[in-house]
Amino acid sequence: MISVKEAKSIIQKHIPQLGTETVSLNKVGNRVLAQDITAKFPMPRFDNSAMDGFAVRASDTKGASQMNPVTLKMVSVSSAGSPSDVTVGLGECAQCMTGGKLPDGADAVVMVENTSGFSVRGSVRVFLETHRGKHVRKIGEEIQEGEVLIPNGTRITPGEIGTLATFGYGEVSVIKKPKLAIFGTGDELIEPGNKLMHGQIYNSNLYMFAELAERVGADVIIRNVIKDDRESLRSFLSEALKSCDVVVSSGGVSMGRFDYVREVFMELGVREHFWKVAQKPGKPMFFGTDETTLIFGLPGNPVSSYIGFMEWVWPVLETMMGIPEQKFLTGILKESFPREKVKYRFLFGKAWMEAGTIMCKSSAKTGSHMLSSSLEANCILISENGDSPLQPGEEIRINILPWKTIG
């Protein structure tokens, strides 16, 4: 049995970097950029109106008021998509809609509410003195041409997609998705929706793994429940090792009569780096490699599988995609936390803000079979080994679940 720190160090030495591929804009969601995205043009691209109104020369409105309006001749109309090619001269104005290009010669916009509006006689009365630049969006005031908009290594969310579209990127270079094989073992496992017979349980872990894999940005290309049969397991694993970057198992790596996943791995040439880790839950955890494939054997208890994926597999997948390692937060315990004398302790928990400080507490359900402990959780609480429980008011490490927030 090795320490968590030693196990993490071993894994880091074997994580491969994935290649890149070019994908179209409608398929980049949740992918990781493999290039810097720069502005192809300034934003705004030209001086334009921030309001519906009239483009004027500010000097022509000097002294304008409700009692003493200034009358200007309207010479053109400029709207978004239909810019005016007329130059506004002395005593002239142009109707200019929001987003419309500011006509040459004009240097300000007067809102329509401060004018008489368009007159069929071709003149507009202005009731408010304005100044140069008023209600004008200047070229490049948001973004300069050539500016880095989104740096390499960014995970693409709706905001990034909108920015890519805004600047005309129809396709971009991204890191390839890690290819995963996930499997569970056991004659007792049946699919949800079927009737449970005596001694059977539903296959929950593979559905959980598949969802976690999608959220992190990986592709599950092989997925199966393997009965307690060596040849079926060997056939599945032979294919998985050929075609996948990562193989993740649920169950079969402990010391029970039918726990021979580890043995079959070894028979297929997988190099074992460690089998047991000083942690709770998840002590019987296997890690091995086969050329460039990483193999994680996680215990079958649902909490052990869930936390094991989040603490061991998720960060590896992110590293493979070039995502920087996420930093842990620190919280203050509201209630005591049960440490282990020789093992790292992981528990689902709840974190929230209180007077500017992150407060937290662990789930009341601590059994590795109690998956309901994850339902209200937004984090995993992590403690090194110790002789006694951590007490209220003491600090503890927090790993916020990426799809959750601190309430």
Encode pLDDT of 268-285 as tens digits.
999 999 999 999 999 999
Does any domain span residue 407? Answer: no
Does any domain span residue 9? Answer: yes
pLDDT at 324: 84
pLDDT at 252: 62
Regarding whether 168 and 119 lie in a shared domain, the answer is no
User: Is pLDDT at 255 greater than 80 in this prediction?
Assistant: no
Regarding whether 72 and 194 lie in a shared domain, the answer is no
pLDDT at 34: 96
Does any domain span residue 94? Answer: yes
How far is residue 58's CA from residue 92's CA, in Å, rounded to a whole number?
11
Last residue of a domain, one of 110, 137, 164: 137
Percentages of the chain per state (helix, strand, coil), in multiples of 5 = 20, 30, 45
What would the two tokens of residue 3 be? 């320490």
* CATH number, domain containing residue 152: 3.90.105.10
User: Which of helix, strand or coil describes residue 233?
Assistant: helix
| Residue range 192-198: mean pLDDT, rounded | 86
How far is residue 401's CA from residue 87's CA, in Å, rounded to a whole number?
58
Q: Indicate the DSSP class of residue 282.
A: -
How far is residue 38's CA from residue 41's CA, in Å, rounded to a whole number?
9
**Residue 357: CB partners within 8 Å, gap ≥ 6?**
332
Regarding whether 289 and 233 lie in a shared domain, the answer is yes
Does any domain span residue 347? Answer: yes
Q: In the 3-class helix/strand/coil scheme, how is 210-275 assigned residue by residue?
A: HHHHHHHCCEEEEEEEECCCHHHHHHHHHHHHHHCCEEEEECCCCCCCCCCHHHHHHHCCCEEEEC
Does any domain span residue 406? Answer: no
How far is residue 283's CA from residue 342's CA, in Å, rounded to a whole number?
11
How far is residue 279's CA from residue 252's CA, in Å, rounded to a whole number?
18
What is the chain's length?
A: 407
Regarding whether 13 and 101 lie in a shared domain, the answer is no
Does any domain span residue 75? Answer: yes
pLDDT at 258: 43
User: Is pLDDT at 364 greater than 70 in this prediction?
Assistant: yes
Regarding whether 311 and 213 lie in a shared domain, the answer is yes
pLDDT at 124: 95
Regarding whether 356 and 242 lie in a shared domain, the answer is no
Regarding whether 56 and 12 lie in a shared domain, the answer is no
Regarding whether 291 and 210 lie in a shared domain, the answer is yes
Regarding whether 372 and 239 lie in a shared domain, the answer is no
pLDDT digits 0-9 by tens, 200-228: 887 889 999 999 999 999 999 999 988 77
Regarding whether 300 and 190 lie in a shared domain, the answer is yes
User: Which of helix, strand or coil describes residue 302?
Assistant: helix
pLDDT at 194: 87
Q: Count structural domains, the chain.
A: 4
* CATH number, domain containing residue 89: 2.170.190.11
Does any domain span residue 142? Answer: no
Q: What percent of the chain has pLDDT over 70?
A: 97
| Res. 67 pLDDT band, cuts 50 70 90 | very high
Residue pair 223/211 in contact (Cβ under 8 Å)? The answer is: no
169 Cα distance to chain centroid: 20
How far is residue 235's CA from residue 263's CA, in Å, rounded to a whole number?
14
| Res. 232 pLDDT band, cuts 50 70 90 | confident
How far is residue 261's CA from residue 163's CA, in Å, rounded to a whole number?
47
Regarding whether 395 and 286 lie in a shared domain, the answer is no
How far is residue 221's CA from residue 238's CA, in Å, rounded to a whole number?
14
User: Is pLDDT at 253 greater than 90 in this prediction?
Assistant: no
pLDDT at 256: 47
| Residue range 59-76: mean pLDDT, rounded | 96
Domain limits for position 192: 4-18+177-320
Question: Mean pLDDT across the chain, nearest whole number?
Answer: 92
pLDDT digits 0-9 by tens, 283-314: 999 999 998 899 999 988 899 999 999 999 99
* CATH number, domain containing residue 356: 2.40.340.10
| Residue range 318-338: mean pLDDT, rounded | 92
Does any domain span residue 218? Answer: yes
| Residue range 144-152: mean pLDDT, rounded | 96
Min mean pLDDT across 109-113, 297-301, 387-391 is at: 297-301
**Residue 147: CB partners within 8 Å, gap ≥ 6?**
38, 39
